[in-house]
């Protein structure tokens, strides 16, 4: 990948994609989900929902990583990632912040959002 006006966006998508794909490990079951979110997953219904959430984050993260290498996907996937992360932060704030594990997810989302926004602005120059 040679440097051009979209290179920062590709790099930001790689970072954000990895951050978004990390929860995919939760698809492996309750133990992994508990390690991610520091809450028990004793209810089968909650495990189903959260494991499905893990699949969706794997898809989103994977698509963001792919977008780093597919220029036509960059802007749409950056916007999809931003929408996902901003909505999570907003929900966490509306619910009072959550536990320490949820607050770490909020921090990770902010870490991913900042370079994405800067890179999107840079690519639009």
Q: What is the DSSP string of 15-46?
A: HHHHHHHGGGGGGG-HHHHHHHHSS----HHH
pLDDT category of residue 123 using cuts at 50, 70 and 90: confident
pTM: predicted TM-score of the whole model, two decimal places: 0.87
Q: Return the SS3 of 95.
A: coil
Q: Looking at residues 36-62, what average pLDDT do you find? A: 95
Specify the higher pLDDT residue, 88 or 124.
Answer: 88
What was the pLDDT predicted at 85? 95
| pLDDT for 5 beyond 70 | no
Dump pLDDT digits (tens) for 26-39: 999 999 999 999 99
- At residue 3, does pLDDT exceed 70? no
The whole-number pLDDT of residue 4 equals 61
What integer pLDDT is reported at residue 52 of this predicted model?
Answer: 97
Main-chain dihedrals φ then ψ at residue 41, nearest 5 degrees? -120, 65
Neighbours of 54 (CB within 10 A): 22
């Amino acid at each position: 990948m040679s440097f051009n006006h979209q290179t920062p966006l590709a790099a930001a998508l790689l970072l954000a994609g990895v951050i978004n794909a990390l929860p995919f490990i939760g698809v492996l079951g309750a133990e992994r989900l508990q390690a991610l979110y520091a809450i028990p997953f004793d209810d089968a219904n909650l495990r189903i929902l959260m494991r499905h959430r893990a699949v969706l984050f794997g898809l989103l993260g994977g698509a963001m990583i792919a977008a780093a290498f597919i220029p036509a996907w960059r802007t749409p996937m950056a916007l999809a990632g931003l929408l996902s992360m901003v909505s999570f932060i907003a929900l966490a704030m509306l619910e009072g912040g959550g536990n320490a594990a949820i607050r770490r997810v909020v921090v990770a989302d902010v870490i991913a959002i900042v370079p994405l926004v800067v890179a999107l602005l840079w690519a639009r120059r």
